Structure 1
Amino acid sequence: MGEWMTLWFMSIALGMDAFSIGLGMGMLSLRIKQIMKIGITIGLFHMLMPLGGMTIGKEISVHFGGIAGVVGGILLVILGVTMIRSSFSKDDEPFVRPVGFGLLVFALSASLDSFSVGLSLGIYGAKTWLTIFMFGMMSMLLTWCGLMMGKKVQKWLGSYSEALGGCILLAFGVKILFPF
């Protein structure tokens, strides 16, 4: 029971970054079908990344754990800056869209920290399938919540919503790069 509760809290903590990123991206004009696809993709990445981390194990965790966080932070900063720049351009189409390659970059940036967590959990011998299932489900649900809340905020803010979404992603990326 103790391990289950620990994994539950860890899955919520890892899913909260997906929620925050989803909140920022939800301020783009997205259809429900896109929101569902984004949530599922983020959930899958939050299953694959810790599975990869758990599989690789202790040898790389010391060297690669910090790099994964830095890469994730840089990706979020880039996404945030491009969204802010796009909001001031004359085009109605945003620069970053969570479809195709953009969706993969979005999902990767949201789930890189779960790779490091997977490395740590692999060292301690956590139950692999329970862990990745909980991480995937919680991040998918929290992504959907963030996207839906962002969609509501987008309706209130209109054209300023993409800039606000970019600021959220930028701030989250900076927080990952410079934790204080």
Structure 2
Amino acid sequence: MNFPSLILLALAMSTDAFAAAIGKGAAMQRPRFLQALRIGLLFGVIEAITPIIGWLIGSIATEWVAAWDHWIAFTLLLVLGVSMVREGLSKADDDEAAPAQNQSVIKLALTAVATSIDAMAVGVGLAFIDVSIVEASLLIGLATTVMVTIGILLGRALGGLIGKRAEIIGGIVLIGVGVAILYEHLG
């Protein structure tokens, strides 16, 4: 696999995380660049690790990972999305709402894992071709870090327009990403 192909692969692997980041950014109250970058780094590190895990699994579990990756991602994103929608609906108004500025690291990490399951499956496939898994994983992690940081900041801009419904919309976006992953694999 040549370098331009690896760049395209890295960008493709970061699109789910980018969509989820827009939803997360919209649910946050004015995230700053450093905050967006930290979230981007969390997503990027997780997205860089999963292809390595997939590569290590290699031929041992190829069929299982390929058969279930979309269901795992869909379930995680559905649960997280429903949780965000429920939290958004339970807020009486902006004054009573706790600021979403302190996003739960656990929720963010689960979202990152959910959006990187497909990268694990790609890692399994990379085990069977001539490619440097370290180079591929670093590029995937870098692309995801950049895309998620941009997504959080875009979500911030959209969040001001959306107001208190931002968390509900963010949850719907996560559910939509999960459905899209499921549709892509089943369709």
Partner of 2:144: helix, strand, or coil? helix
Match for residue 128 of structure 2?
123
Match for residue 69 of structure 2?
68
Deviations 1:115-170 (A, max 9, x none): 00000011113111110110000011001111110010001111121111111111
Q: Percent identity?
A: 24
Q: Contact (CA 8 Å) 2:21, 2:152: kept in 1 or not?
A: yes
Q: How big is the shift at 1:59?
A: 2.4
Q: How does 1:1-180 map to 2 (within 5 A)?
A: 3-30=2-29, 31-32=31-32, 33-89=34-90, 90=92, 92-93=97-98, 98-179=103-184, 180=187
Q: Once structures 1 and 2 are overlaid, which stretch shifts more, 104-113 or 142-151?
A: 104-113
Q: Contact (CA 8 Å) 1:86, 1:94: kept in 2 or not?
A: no
Kindly provide the amino acid, as one letter, of the partner of residue 59 in structure 1. I
Q: Contact (CA 8 Å) 2:53, 2:123: kept in 1 or not?
A: yes
Structure 1 unaligned residues grouped into runs of 5+? none
Q: Contact (CA 8 Å) 2:159, 2:166: kept in 1 or not?
A: yes
Q: Once structures 1 and 2 are overlaid, which stretch shifts more, 130-139 or 64-73?
A: 64-73
Count, aligned residues: 178
Q: Once structures 1 and 2 are overlaid, which stretch shifts more, 146-155 or 60-69?
A: 60-69
Tell me the distance in 2 between the aligned counterparts of 1:28 and 1:7: 32
Structure 2 unaligned residues grouped into runs of 5+? none
Q: TM-score, normalised by structure 2?
A: 0.88
Q: Once structures 1 and 2 are overlaid, which stretch shifts more, 130-139 or 106-115?
A: 106-115
Give the RMSD, CA atoms, in angstroms.
Answer: 1.8
Tell me the distance in 1 between the aligned counterparts of 2:69 and 2:98: 30
Q: Contact (CA 8 Å) 1:55, 1:119: kept in 2 or not?
A: yes
Q: How big is the shift at 1:105?
A: 0.9
Tell me the distance in 2 between the aligned counterparts of 1:166 and 1:102: 12
Q: Contact (CA 8 Å) 1:83, 1:166: kept in 2 or not?
A: yes
Q: Contact (CA 8 Å) 1:73, 1:176: kept in 2 or not?
A: yes
Tell me the distance in 1 between the aligned counterparts of 2:8 and 2:39: 23
Q: How big is the shift at 1:68?
A: 2.3
